[in-house]
């Protein structure tokens, strides 16, 4: 799975939780999940759990704490699969 496929799957997962759908439609690697997409910080845990299920990986708490942007998520997942 290449990074563009990972990114597409990440955006699909975040779509459920994002309150700013317009920002999600034009999301880049620099798009901040909490600030730009208006994902509730409590929901970020659900996002990470969905990443684990979708990509069949395990994300440690320290790694989850470093996921702020879509690019961060892509890098983390690419390193784990």
Q: How far apart are CA 20 and CA 36, in angstroms?
A: 7
Cβ(48)–Cβ(64) below 8 Å: yes
Q: How far apart are CA 1 and CA 20, in angstroms?
A: 27
pLDDT band, very low/low/confident/very high, at 62 (cuts 50, 70, 90): very high
Query: Which pLDDT value is given to residue 51?
Result: 97
**Mean of pLDDT values over 55-78:** 96
Cβ(59)–Cβ(80) below 8 Å: yes
pLDDT band, very low/low/confident/very high, at 10 (cuts 50, 70, 90): very high
Query: Which pLDDT value is given to residue 34?
Result: 96
For the entire predicted model, the pTM comes to 0.93
Burial class of 6 by CB neighbour count within 10 A (0 to 12, 13 to 18, 19+) = buried
pLDDT tens digits along 72-81: 999 999 999 9
> Cα-atom radius of gyration of the chain, to the nearest Å?
11
Q: List the chain domain ranges.
A: 3-80
Q: How far apart are CA 11 and CA 69, in angstroms?
A: 11
pLDDT tens digits along 23-34: 999 999 999 999
- Could you say which architecture CATH assigns to the domain 3-80? Orthogonal Bundle (1.10)
């Amino acid at each position: 799975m290449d990074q563009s496929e990972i990114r597409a799957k990440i955006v699909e997962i975040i779509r459920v939780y994002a309150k700013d759908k317009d920002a999600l439609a034009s999301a880049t690697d620099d798009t901040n999940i909490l600030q730009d997409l208006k994902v509730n910080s409590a929901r970020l845990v659900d996002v990470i759990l969905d990443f684990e299920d979708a990509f069949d990986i395990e994300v440690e708490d320290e790694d989850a704490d470093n996921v702020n942007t879509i690019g961060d998520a892509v890098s983390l997942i690419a390193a784990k699969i």
